[in-house]
Amino acid sequence: MSEDEAAWDRVIDDYERHLTLERDLTPHTVRGYVTDVRGLAEHAERLGVRDPADLTIRTMRSHLAQQKSLGRARSTLARRSTSLRVFTAWLRRTGRAENDAAALLASPAARRELPATLSATDVRAVLDAAAERIETDAVTGTRDLAILEVLYATGIRVGELVGLDRDDIDTGRRVVRVFGKGRKERTVPFGLPAQDALDAWLQHGRPQIVTESSGPAVFLGVRGGRIDPRTVREVVHRRLGEVEGIADLGPHGLRHTAATHLLEGGADLRSVQEVLGHASIGTTQIYTHVSNERLRAAFRQAHPRA
C-alpha cells in the first residue's frame, strides 16, 4: 500500500468510527456513506489528489460527472452529493482540512416517481392467503402472517421490524416502539388484526422454535435466532407472489401502501410523518400525490364526462 492510499484509508477509517460511535447511525447507513467516500477516494487518487485535505470542489464535480456518464440515476447522484458534503464538513470540523470543499456542491434534482402501492382489496387478499397457509405450515405460517400484518399496520421499515424486542410491543395499548434512522425512537399504533396475528405468533408459533440464542427478539428465523432483513424480504415477496394478479412490491411497497391508505382514510400529513419516522414532511408529501392520482383515476373511470 502506498503512502497516498494509507492517508485516505486512515481518514476513512476515522470517519467510519465517527459515523458508528458518535452519530450512532445504523450499519446500513454507515456502509452507504463509507462506500460513497471510497468511490470518491479512488477517483481523487487517479487525479493525483494524494490526501483528503487537498480535495477541491472541482475534483468532486469530476467524480459525479463520471458517475453520471456511467448511467447512475439522478437519485443516486443526489445521495452521493449529500455523502460528499457530510464527509468534507467532517474533515473541516475535525481540522483535517482547512476548507469545506463540498460546501457549494449542488445536488442534481431527483425525479420523484410515485411509489407503487396495493389497493385495500389486494392487501386483504394477500393477508387472507397468508392466513390460509397456517393450516399447512403452522409455525412459519403464523410468523409470516404476523410479519405482513405488522408491516402493513405500522408502515415500519424492515430494519425496524427485525430489531423489535418483546418489550417493544405493548398489546394493551396496541402500540409498538421502534428505533428508526439515527436510532431515533418513535411509537407507532397498530390495529386489532395485527394484534391477533402477533398474539398467535408469540403464544403459539414462537415458543416452538425459540432457543437460548433467541434473546428478546420478536421475530425469529427457523433456527431460532433473530430474523434477518433478507429473510423478511423473501417472506414478503413469496407471500405476495402466491396471490395471482398482485404486484410484487416487497416490504417497502407495504410501507408505501400503509402511508397511502392512512391518508386516504383521513389521516393528516403530520400524523403520517410521525408514523413513518420521516425527518422532513417533504418526504411524506409524495403520498398525497399518490392519493390524488388514485382520485383522478377513479374519476376518469367512473364519471361519464371525465
Per annotation, catalytic residue among 43, 79, 133, 252: 252
> One-letter amino acid identity for 98?
E
Task: Give residue for cell 440515476.
Answer: 73
Per annotation, catalytic residue among 15, 33, 152, 287: 287
Q: Please indicate whether residue 270 is annotated as part of the active site.
A: no
Per annotation, catalytic residue among 143, 206, 239, 255: 255
Q: Please indicate whether residue 287 is annotated as part of the active site.
A: yes
Q: Please indicate whether residue 157 is annotated as part of the active site.
A: yes
Q: Please indicate whether residue 278 is annotated as part of the active site.
A: yes
Beta strand pairing call for 185-189 and 169-170? unpaired
Per annotation, catalytic residue among 92, 174, 278, 294: 278
What secondary structure, in 3-state letters, does the chain show?
CCHHHHHHHHHHHHHHHHHHHHCCCCHHHHHHHHHHHHHHHHHHHHCCCCCHHHCCHHHHHHHHHHHHHCCCCHHHHHHHHHHHHHHHHHHHHCCCCCCCCCCCCCCCCCCCCCCCCCCHHHHHHHHHHHHHHHHCCHHHHHHHHHHHHHHHHHCCCHHHHHCCEHHHEECCCCEEEEECHHHCEEEEECCHHHHHHHHHHHHHHHHHCCCCCCCCECCECCCCCECCHHHHHHHHHHHHHCCCCCCCCHHHHHHHHHHHHHHHCCCCHHHHHHHHCCCCHHHHCHHHHHHHHHHHHHHHHHCCCC
Per annotation, catalytic residue among 143, 157, 256, 261: 157
Per annotation, catalytic residue among 61, 68, 92, 181: 181
> One-letter amino acid identity for 261?
H
* Spatial contact of 211 and 225, defined as CB atoms under 8 Å apart: yes
Q: Please indicate whether residue 18 is annotated as part of the active site.
A: no
> One-letter amino acid identity for 94?
T
Question: Which residue numbers are catalytic?
Answer: 157, 181, 252, 255, 278, 287
